[in-house]
Amino acid sequence: MDGATVQQIVQALERVYAANTAAADRKAAETECQQFKDDARAVAYGLYLAQPSNAQSPMVRYFGLQLIEHAIKQRFGTSKMPTEEALQLREQIWELVFASGQSDAREPQFIREKLVAILVMLVIRLWPSEQWTDLSAQLMHLYSQTAGHRELALRVWQTLGEELLVYDRDALATVRKHELTNGIVGALLPKSAVMELYPNGYRLSTDPGAANPATAKGGKRATLIVLEPGNEDGWILRWMQHAGEVAQQQSGGLSDEHEAQIVQLLETTATFLDWMPIKAVVATELVPRLAALLGVRSARVRQHAAAALEIVSRRNVPAGEERDAILLQFVEAGDGAALGAIAQAYATTLAPQLDAHWDDAGDALACARALAQISANLTTLHWARK
């Protein structure tokens, strides 16, 4: 690594961010930083600057990650960044992500977020493919480590879902939407739901490069769904089980750490609720699992659980078995426990229970509105049946 160039980058950044830098000097330093982004060695410099072991300031490390991000955007798929180089970069980013999870509170959040964004950029470009067949296994390993690692694994799934299903900010996510959607079907949903979703033919495989069978039942082309060994239950069920386990272990009241865990699990799940097939919602028993969290002694958890249930209840479900199935999730699963939990949670937002269950009346009102909307949505679904 050219130490003189590294020092040049650091000095340019110091001039950009120093409060006493003259406007003309700051403009020149910004131009210099932009030139480094276009340098052929940008990825190498970025990796060096981003390494926590090199003792650079957070500002410099962040710029190193920006160099990598810019290179992926501008060079991926060209002779300047062939697939082999991108795969090598993937491994180097994984190392940075794992190191970030180990550093806990000492790692600035904006650096963690940028690492997640870069990893998701690589996921969008490389997964699922012959070159990347084990994303779920890698994230499962990350998820099973420390709380910091678990947070990063959830942020990867949440960011991928946002890029694919919500924002459309990355053009490659649009180009590869079919492959990526098949990827998240195999990763997030239980195998039993996949079998129901593709009655005209599907192929579960650990080899994403395998050709689809030419025809399936009914003469239709079968869909290839990548299913990694050990992930038969899917991530969404894993998240909801984990949230329920944490809530049960803290029956006397949640610590801030456990509250944050459940909230992040709910936020990640909510990213996929508008997309999640109704058959999968039923197979994972999502409604009763969310309803059970309405009884947790945490305003934030109750608000997020109510918001997630409201998303499910407003889904535009076609008339027939699927509409009946989602209604039955509310009224039959757990002997009507979901509707009961909704009613009990709503009661806590009214006097005389309000003061005992809520520290902020505004939070209680927001939750009450979501719970009332759930009831309205279910009534509309019920009366709209044909």
Does 63 have pLDDT greater than 50? yes
- The amino acid at residue 357 is H
Sign of CA dihedral 104, 108, 113, 114: negative
Contact 96, 78 (CB under 8 A): no
Quick one: residue 218, left, alpha or beta (phi over 0 = left, psi -120 to 50 = alpha)?
Answer: left
What band does 212 get if pLDDT is binned at 50, 70 and 90? Answer: very low
DSSP of 101-152: HHTGGGS-HHHHHHHHHHHHHHHHHH-SBTTB--HHHHHHHHHTS-HHHHHH
Q: How confident is the model at residue 77 (pLDDT cuts 50, 70, 90)?
A: confident
- % residues pLDDT > 70 (the chain): 89
DSSP bridge partners of 205: 226
What is the rounded average pLDDT of the residues 207-224?
Answer: 49
By CB atoms closer than 10 A (0-12, 13-18, 19+), residue 278 is buried
Say if residues 293 and 357 touch (Cβ distance below 8 Å): no
Per-chain mean pLDDT for the chain: 88
**Which pLDDT band, with edges at 50, 70 and 90, does 86 fall under?**
very high
Query: Do 263 and 304 contact (CB within 8 A), yes or no?
Result: yes
Where would I find the beta strands (DSSP E) of the chain?
Answer: 202-205, 223-226
Q: Which of 2-16, 191-205, 222-236, 248-262 reaches the highest mean pLDDT? A: 2-16
DSSP class of residue 163 equals I
Residue 234: Cβ-neighbour burial (10 angstroms; 0-12, 13-18, 19+)? buried
Question: How far apart are the C-alpha atoms of 217 and 201, rounded to whole Å?
Answer: 6
pLDDT-wise least confident of 106-120, 284-298, 328-342: 328-342
